Amino acid sequence: MRTLFVSTLTAACAATAITLAGCGGSGETADGTGTLRVALTDAPACGYDAVNVTIERVRVHQSSGAGDNDAGWTDLVVSPRRRVDLLSLTNGVLAELGETPLPAGRYTQLRLVLADNGNGAPLANSVVPSGGREVALTTPSAQQSGLKLNVNIDVGANQIADVVLDFDACKSIVRRGNSGQYNLKPVVTVIPRITDVGRIEGYVDPSIAATARVSAQAAGEPVKATPPDPLTGKFVLYPVPVGSYTLVLTHPTRATAAITGVPVMAAAAPTIVGAASAPLLPPAAASAPRTVTGTVTTTPPASASVRALQTLATTPNPTSIEVAWTAADDTDGTFSLQLPLATPVWAGYAATPPALAFNADNAATGLYSVEATSGGATKSQSIDARAAVPPLLFAFP
């Protein structure tokens, strides 16, 4: 049995406790009993035909420092254990894991417990690279503690703490050199599923839907992402915390498109961006994306991720968006990004547009900030991808 520490990465929720019911913020146990209800969803994956995990239980504790065998754990047991292909949980689809009673109070540690891979078929936890064969996922035990981040979940007496675990398969699978093996390093966002979340719906043109990616971003941080339906082009971003977002559409043969000021409101109709009669279709790119490679070195060896940001300067307020993301190889730290050379375009959100009129941001063409992150530290380099870019090096002491 693998116990995986869950990280909370939602930009819109990072600064505050996730208050699911009640108020008690003191950390003391309240009188009475509440209920924990948990569901699972996924962001889009990169280069995989399937990402399977088998879930045995979800554990919560009021102490962020509690060990495996300490008293005070409450377990939501998934019985029978459930094998889920994460790639089936996009476009607003949720897998309900169940609910369990627990003492009211604040919970500051949450763990997702997966089954071990045995010798039988099917494998409990596995990945199928696009066009390849199924490979078992491994979680190096020496690195499990490095995945731990605390949560703040307030559970009120006689109330339901309703949360979604947004499992980002793309960011959770890391290649191990040329071994043909993959490490599972879960990146999971904990999102409250009550009145403070909403949804964004819309359409991209069916001609590009199969390889497009849509994300809702806040200050350059994706909060929720999904691939559109490959046949109809419809996309659903849910759950999304209440707020204002930039909707970003990326595609390998199209310009990056951004729609700014997209509102998400609770207990309201979905925010619509791109109707079926007027789907989103950014301009075609005149040239192929630029391949940017490099290496991240860490002492001692540690996991690292790399992403490319682009700043749209002609929007009403300069807007930073994430265009590409990848994990550095777990063995040698190498990485590769595909960065569009087409001029990015943007439009302001309008509630009932016949079709969005995109503006070209010529000043941003080919210009990126490439960021590497490891162990909580981040380093960045500015590049101009209109010409060949020498291999980048990010060194972390």
d(CA 284, CA 305): 29
d(CA 141, CA 144): 5
Task: Give the containing element (helix H, strand E) for 169.
Answer: helix 169-172
Give me the residues of the chain with pLDDT under 50, please: 2, 5-30, 141-147, 149, 195
b/e code 80-108 from CB counts within 10 Å (16+ = b)? eebbbbbbebbbbebbebbebebbbbbbb
Q: Give the pLDDT score at 290.
A: 96
The 10s digit of each residue's pLDDT in 310-326 is: 999 888 888 999 999 99
The 10s digit of each residue's pLDDT in 338-374 is: 999 999 999 999 887 777 889 999 999 999 999 999 9
Which domains occur in the chain, in start order? Answer: 2-192 (no CATH), 198-273 (2.60.40.1120), 290-344+362-396 (2.60.40)
Q: Give the pLDDT score at 187.
A: 79
Q: Give the pLDDT score at 374.
A: 92
Q: Give the pLDDT score at 282.
A: 95
Radius of gyration of the chain, Cα coordinates, nearest whole angstrom: 21
Predicted TM-score of the model (pTM)? 0.74
Name residues whose C-beta falls within 8 Å of residue 287's C-beta, 6 or more positions apart in sequence: 341, 342
Residue 202's SS3 state is strand
Q: Give the pLDDT score at 194.
A: 57
Q: Give the pLDDT score at 221.
A: 92
Q: Give the pLDDT score at 311.
A: 96
